[in-house]
Amino acid sequence: MAIANEERLTKRSHWDKYWEDLDLPAVISKKDGTPLLQVEMEILGKYLPRGPLSILEIGGAPGQYLAYFHRQFGYDVSSLDYSPEGCKKTEENFKLLGIDGKVYQEDLFGDLTALPRFDIVFSMGLAEHFEDLSAVVEKHLELLKPGGILFIGMPNFRGINKFFLKRLAPEQLSMHNLDSMEIKRWKHFEHKFNLEKIFKGYIGGFEPMTFMARENDTSHSIWYLTARILNSLFHRRIRFFRKFNSM
C-alpha cells in the first residue's frame, strides 16, 4: 500500500529537524512524569501483559517508551521510524541506556515484507499525522502477529486545546487530523478489521501544557500569557478540571 504525499500532514524534514537537537538519554518515569504521562503509564500497566514478548513502536524515535517497556515489562523492543535523524537518536539512546533494541529506518507505507511480525505494535502521537486513519491502522496490523495486541494513542487537540492552538500555534495544529481524535470515528476501523476492543477511551484531562507552544508573532500575545497562567494553576494546584478535554 502506498500513500500520496498530500495525505501526510508532516514531512520527513520536519521530523529530522525536530530530533536533531534532542538531549539524550531520553527516558520516561511515572514518578517524574506529567499528570498525563502518569495516566498513560497506568493504562499501559493495566492492559499490557508482561514479557517475554516482542514490541514494535511505529514512529518510535527517540525510544523512551521502548526503554520503559523493556525495563518494566521485559519486552524485546524495536523501533520503526522514517526519519534518519530520529533513528540515529534512538540508536544512541538505546546505547546510553544499555538496551539491546533494534531500529528500522523504514517508511510505514513502504515495503515492509522483510520485517518480522510482533506480539505488540504500539504508536503514540503518530496516526493523527495522516489524513486516512484506517490506512494507518491497516499498516500497523500488517506488522502484528495473529492474535497480537495493537495499542494506538494520540493527543486530543479538539475542544479547549483547539481554541488555544489556533491562536498560538496554527502551523502545529495544521499537522494533525482533528477528525481522527474524535473517538466515535474509531468504530469504522474497528469494524473494518474485526478488532476485539480491550480498551478505548479518553484519558487524562485538561492540561494547559498541551497548548503552550507558540509561533512567531503570537509569542507575547494575551493568549500565550493566559496559557502560562492556566498551566501554572492547573499543573499542580487545581485538579477538578482535568476531567474536561481528556487526551
Residue range 68-77, pLDDT digits in tens: 999 999 999 9
Mean pLDDT, rounded, for 153-165: 89
- Give the residue, 55 or 213, on which the prediction is more confident: 55
Q: Give the pLDDT of residue 62.
A: 97
Cα 91 to Cα 6, 67, 83, 107: the distances in Å are 30, 11, 12, 17
> Is the per-residue pLDDT at 28 higher than 80?
yes
Q: What is each CA distance from 156 to 107, 153, 180, in whole angstroms?
A: 25, 10, 9
State the pTM of this model. 0.89
Rounded distance between C-alpha atoms, residue 79 and residue 122, angstroms? 10
